[in-house]
Structure 1
Amino acid sequence: MAEPKVVASRYALWQAAIKWPMYSVAVMPAFLAAGALQGLELKPRWEQLILFLLAAVLLLAWENLSNDVFDADTGVDSKGKPHSVVNLSGRRDRVALAANCCLVLGLALMALVAQQSQGAVLLLVLACCGIGYLYQGPPFRLSYRGLGEPLCWLAFGPLASAAALIALAPAGVFDGAAIPWSMALELGAGPAVATSLVLFCSHFHQVEEDAKNGKNSPVVQLGSAKAAALVPWFVVACFALQWLPILRGIWPASAFLGLIGLAPALSLIRLLQRQHNQPERIIGCKFLALRFQALNGLGLALGLALGPLFLGR
């Protein structure tokens, strides 16, 4: 009777290793760009959206798999992460090969997207991939120096938003024009704070393991209590950056729909305030952060898309 439990446990580990809910962070810039363009009555190119989403998922799969490979090299995942793909498979070489295949396929799809829009799309995505490597790859490993969150904000905020806007916009909108940095920053800044919060919360349950292996995450540097006290400020910053364009009259009031992410954000804040130093009880806190990120981003995208109805256009 013990064997089914072992199988179930291994199955659960593989589910955790695949991290399918985490792909919300990969697709959100494209959904936000589609919502913003729809709100401006610039019909997004839906075939481009599908290709962009597939490419984004493949590129995040590359980052997740290669992160497991690089962390296996440093030993940071040896005990504290049984759901590492390297630990589960026991084959670092095959995981590295799968990661590289995801990278090549993702960039190939993104090159196709760029061919049908502008070359700047591929350049921006390559910059995101470069940041992904700086985050985790040798000899840089900037995540080991506590720089993961700002790098995450840059990649999933203005860079990914600019790429998605150019890729999805109807022909002629951005053709030959400069990269729409202002619009990309306005659109991506707040949601990227929520994405960075997901990464920030992934450190809480492995503070001792990270410190032991030289991974100086922000939670290691600050301590779990001070780090938990920062979580409400992540949430405030996310909403403030989204509400500023509404208050300035740039976005419609329907963009307040991003508030549907508030409930999981409050649950996350309460959980970490009470149990920040109990790893076994907060191991899932990053999924509360992810629920906040997903609901907030989808609410904002929908609110922007519905803008013409509220404005009477």
Structure 2
Amino acid sequence: MASLSMSPFYLETERRDASFQVLSTECLMNRSCITRPYPIGPSSIVVKQSSRYCHSTQRYFKRTCIKQPKVYQQRWQHQTLKSRAKHCDSAYGKEEGEDISKATLIWRAVKLPIYSVALVPLTVGSATAYLQTGLCSAGRYFVLLASSILIITWLNLSNDVYDFDTGADKNKKESVVNIVGSRTGTLITAYLLLAFGFMGLTWASIEAGNMRSILLLACAIICGYIYQCPPFRLSYQGLGEPLCFVAFGPFATTAFYLLQSSTSELNYLPITGTILSASFLVGFTTALILFCSHFHQVNGDRAVGKFSPLVRLGTKTGFEVVKVAVIALYSLLFVFGLSKALPLTCIFLCALTLPIGKLVVSYVQENHEDKTKIFMAKYYCVRLHALFGAALAAGLVAARMVSRKYIPSPLFP
């Protein structure tokens, strides 16, 4: 027996058995062992026949080799999906059973980036007035800014109240009504803010001696009212974007332009192609924010009968609309520049915002079917709106500094 155990034939058999066990274990953990060399022992026979041994081991352990990797894969996928869902919930407020701090909810309810829609029309309108007259009243600018912020707050609060009434914000934790627990208190606060804001706008109009501006601002506020308030609620008919364009573009931007007139030198600024072109671009980017804010609310809007453009078109067609809108925005910019309605400095500076415009398009293209990620699309549009508006205003101011004189061609005296 001793001589048999030490014989070369016995040693070779032992090596083969050991190699067979190792290969069997590897096949249980990794099915790719068929193409993987295992240099066990000096014998080349083991390496050459490893594929045959692995095949026989797979047949023998067929059930285990098939099921075990699936178990590991399912566990990994479950943990990955769970962690992703937790991240998305904390980022976008989609938690169902998890509590969120009140401070976080309040921050989301404030919607601070959205207040750029109050800043941009005022800044662009004032910059257009500066281009023509070389004058700008800083005190009046800040009064108008504070008044505009109060009115935008009215829009946000009243929108939460009326969406709460229709059930659109029933499960929206960052809704102001859900946070404070009082629909009536929220609505009263909203209309008090509207009253104070309108008083500030009226005071600025009287000081500037230009009553046409208050009429334009009143039309802008009326657009905001019929957009969301009963009995009109035109946003539920898909008319929110046109109303938003008109209110923040031609109405508000042109009114702020008129309010920067100086009573000592010029009582009435004429309506020129420059202010109309600038206000058109401002309204265009503002409406794009509203359009992209509907992407993650399609199912909820449809459930309560709110036929937003994306409910009617679908998210895939909605992406095409966003793409065409961004292309149209920059195309109009160059058209206005070539027609000399806007100074070349505006064209140059606004063209620098092309990367953020491209980012909006690519983000919507990649995530228009992902309800959690597409939530951020409206904030990318806010960035485009703010940067484009800042570049437009800077271009108007720079044109005045370079030329020192601007002779407009008035459309309406």
User: Once structures 1 and 2 are overlaid, which stretch shifts more, 30-39 or 148-157?
Assistant: 30-39
C-alpha deviation, 1:210, in angstroms: 0.5
1:208 aligns with 2:299: yes
Matched, 1:148 2:268: no
CA distance in 2, matches of 1:227, 1:103: 33
Structure 1 counterpart of 2:142: 50
If asked which structure has higher relative contact order (CA below 8 Å, sep 6+), I would say: 1
Structure with max Cα Rg: 2
Distance between the aligned counterparts of 1:181 and 1:150, measured in 2? 22
- Is contact 1:157–1:192 with CA below 8 Å preserved after alignment? yes
Retained in 2: the 8 A contact 1:262–1:296?
Answer: no
**Unaligned segments of structure 1, at least 5 residues:** none
> What SS class does the counterpart of residue 43 from structure 1 fall into?
coil
Deviation at 1:285, TM superposition (A): 1.0
Which residue, out of 99, 112, 116, partners 2:203?
112
> Could you give the per-residue CA deviations for residues 94-117 of structure 1, whole angstroms, max 9, x where no partner exists?
110110111010001011101112
CA distance in 1, matches of 2:371, 2:353: 24
Would the alpha carbon gap of residues 27 and 173 (structure 1) be closer, same or farther in structure 2, given more than 3 Å must change? farther
Q: Aligned-pair distance for 1:7?
A: 7.7
Q: TM-score, normalised by structure 1?
A: 0.92
1:23 is aligned, of 115, 135, 156, to 115
Instruction: State the shift of 1:18 in Å.
Output: 0.5
Alpha-carbon distance in 1 for matches of 2:272, 2:341: 16
Candidates 237, 244, 255, aligned match of 1:163: 255
Deviation digits for residues 233-281 of structure 1 (CA, Å, limit 9, x no counterpart): 2212222333323212233211021233322221221111122111111
Return structure 1 stretches of 4+ with deviation > 6 angstroms. Answer: none
Deviations 1:102-148 (A, max 9, x none): 10100010111011121222221111111101100111110000000
Query: Residues 260 and 295 of structure 1 are in contact (CA less than 8 Å); yes or no, is this contact kept in structure 2?
Result: no
Gaps of 5+ in 2: 1-89, 91-97, 406-413
Q: Quote how far apart the aligned CAs of 1:301 are.
A: 0.3
- Residues in 1 aligned to 2:178 and 2:350: alpha-carbon distance in whole angstroms: 38
Q: What CA distance in whole angstroms lies between the structure 2 residues aligned with 1:39 and 1:182?
A: 13
Q: Among all aligned residue pairs of Structure 1 and Structure 2, give the percentage whose two residues are the same amino acid.
A: 33
Deviation track 1:144-180 (CA, whole Å, cap 9, x = no partner) reads 0000000000001111122101111222666357x72
- 3-state DSSP class of the match of 2:360? helix
- CA–CA distance in structure 2, aligned partners of residues 172 and 233 of structure 1: 45
| Equivalent of residue 168 in structure 2, options 76, 95, 98 | 76
Q: Which moved more, 1:166-175 or 1:202-211?
A: 166-175
Provide the C-alpha distance between the structure 2 equivalents of 1:51 and 1:254, rounded to a whole number of angstroms.
28
TM-score by length of 2: 0.71
Q: Assess if the C-alpha contact under 8 Å between 1:65 and 1:96 holds in 2.
A: yes
Which of 290, 299, 305 aligns to 1:199? It is 290
Over the aligned positions, Cα root-mean-square deviation in angstroms equals: 1.9
CA distance in 2 between counterparts of 1:122 and 1:7 reads 45
The 8 Å contact of residues 148 and 197 in structure 2, kept in 1 or not, is answered as yes
Aligned length: 307
> Which secondary structure does the structure 1 equivalent of 2:136 belong to?
coil
Structure 1 pair 174–211 and aligned structure 2 pair: CA distance change class (3 A)? farther
Instruction: Describe the SS at the equivalent of 2:101.
Output: helix
Contact 2:356 2:384 in 1 (8 A): yes
Query: Shift in Å at residue 183 of structure 1?
Result: 4.4
Question: Partner residue of 1:180?
Answer: 271
Distance across 2 between alignment mates of 1:308 and 1:176: 19
Provide the residue aligned with 1:300 in structure 2: 392
